[in-house]
Amino acid sequence: MNASEHTIRNYSSDLRQFERFLQDEDGDRFSRLVLRRFLVHLQKSGCASRTIARKIASLRSFLEFLVEEGHLASNPARGMFVPRQEKKLPRFLDEREMVKLLEVSDKKSVLGIRDRAILETLYSTGIRVGELEGLRPDSIDFIGGVVRVSGKGKKERIVPIGEKALKALSTYLGKREELLAKPRAGIEQNRKALFLNRWGGRLTARSICRMVNKCVRMSGAKTGASPHAIRHSFATHLLNAGADLRAVQELLGHVNLSTTQIYTHVTTERLKSVYTKAHPRA
């Protein structure tokens, strides 16, 4: 399966949920009627439209696999209706909130130094949390000022990284061995991973999310944020400063330009600035 570990984990969770649902179903468990009942079950459970769409997509792919393997004559989920997804503007931090977030971590402890390096890297590169999780020490080219990233579908791309992020990474790498000096039973140390937990194991995407959420609360940001919100902030700040949409598409690793176009929203301050400068009667 040519997908990221994050996608595989989500799809596996979706299929296990469907398996639990089937325990109360009789007859043909892969009928279209059962699939519709599962859809209703998801809606009653309070799942968001986007989550339901992903779960149905997971199920559709699995059933398509069963068809290809000869276990099913046809895919009952093919063409199945899913709730229309609401188009919401991405949540992002303004530049002042972003600066506060980057400054909030402890500058003396090794974990605080690591967290600062993570936050700086996320904001400087705009990479996904799963891509950051997979970085290695040799992924960073300090001389060239770029990061080699393995993105969705195992596609590799080169992303520029700024001086402040490189400085934070350099400081962290100088302390990284301290995390490998405290092994813990049951946790496998991972010298190949760039970002490590306190016992020298690879820092997971889930742990990175928890760290970011904690730092956001400490920074006092009004807008809740996540690693993906930092990615949104990266794209929004670039576009607000006049960056080309296609360049931002390349930086984000989007296959389609339409995916990037959601970031073309701008802040009220930006609109007022453009209006004041451009309108003859402003």
More confident residue, 246 or 257: 246
Higher per-residue pLDDT: 274 or 216: 216
Mean predicted confidence (pLDDT) in 249-256: 86
List, edge to edge, every strand of the sheet that includes 140-141: 140-141, 146-150, 156-160
In the structure, what pLDDT confidence band is assigned to residue 79 with cuts at 50, 70 and 90?
confident
Q: How many domains does the chain have?
A: 2
Is there a single domain that holds both residue 119 and residue 59? no
Look at residue 184 and tell me whether its pLDDT is greater than 70: yes
Q: Which two tokens stand for residue 84?
A: 């229309």
Predicted pLDDT at 53: 84
Residue 215 CA to residue 116 CA, distance in Å, equals 10
Average pLDDT rounded to a whole number, residues 104-128 = 94
* Same domain for 229 and 269: yes
pLDDT-based confidence at 226, cuts 50/70/90? confident
**Catalytic position from the list 128, 202, 232, 237:** 128
- Annotated active-site residue 11? The verdict is no
> Region 168-180: what's the mean pLDDT?
96
Identify the top-confidence range among 35-44, 124-133, 268-277: 124-133
Mark whether 124 and 195 lie in a shared domain. yes
Same domain, 262 and 127: yes
Do residues 35 and 143 both lie within one domain?
Answer: no
pLDDT score of 69 = 87
- CATH number reported for the structural domain that contains residue 104 in this entry: 1.10.443.10
Residue 210: the pLDDT is: 92
For residue 56, give its domain range.
5-68
CA 142 vs CA 22, 170, 171, 203, 248: distances in Å: 52, 9, 12, 22, 22
Whether 231 is a known active-site residue: answer yes
Same domain, 9 and 112: no
Q: What is the mean pLDDT of residues 67-83?
A: 82
Q: What is d(CA 11, CA 75) in angstroms, rounded to the nearest whole number?
A: 17
Answering whether pTM is above 0.85, one says no
Whether 202 and 108 share a structural domain: yes
The pLDDT tens digits for 147-158 are 999 877 678 899
Active-site choice (152, 175, 265, 270): 152
Residue 224: pLDDT over 80: no
Residues 156 and 38 both lie in one domain: no
Same domain, 134 and 244: yes
For residue 277, indicate whether it is catalytic.
no
* CA trace torsion 269, 272, 276, 281 (10° rounding): -160
pLDDT of residue 9: 82
Active site residue 254: yes
Closest by Cα among 222, 277, 253 to 97: 222
pLDDT tens per residue across span 272-281: 777 788 877 7
* Residue 271 scores a pLDDT above 70: no
228 is catalytic: yes
Alpha carbon distance 158, 172 (integer Å): 22
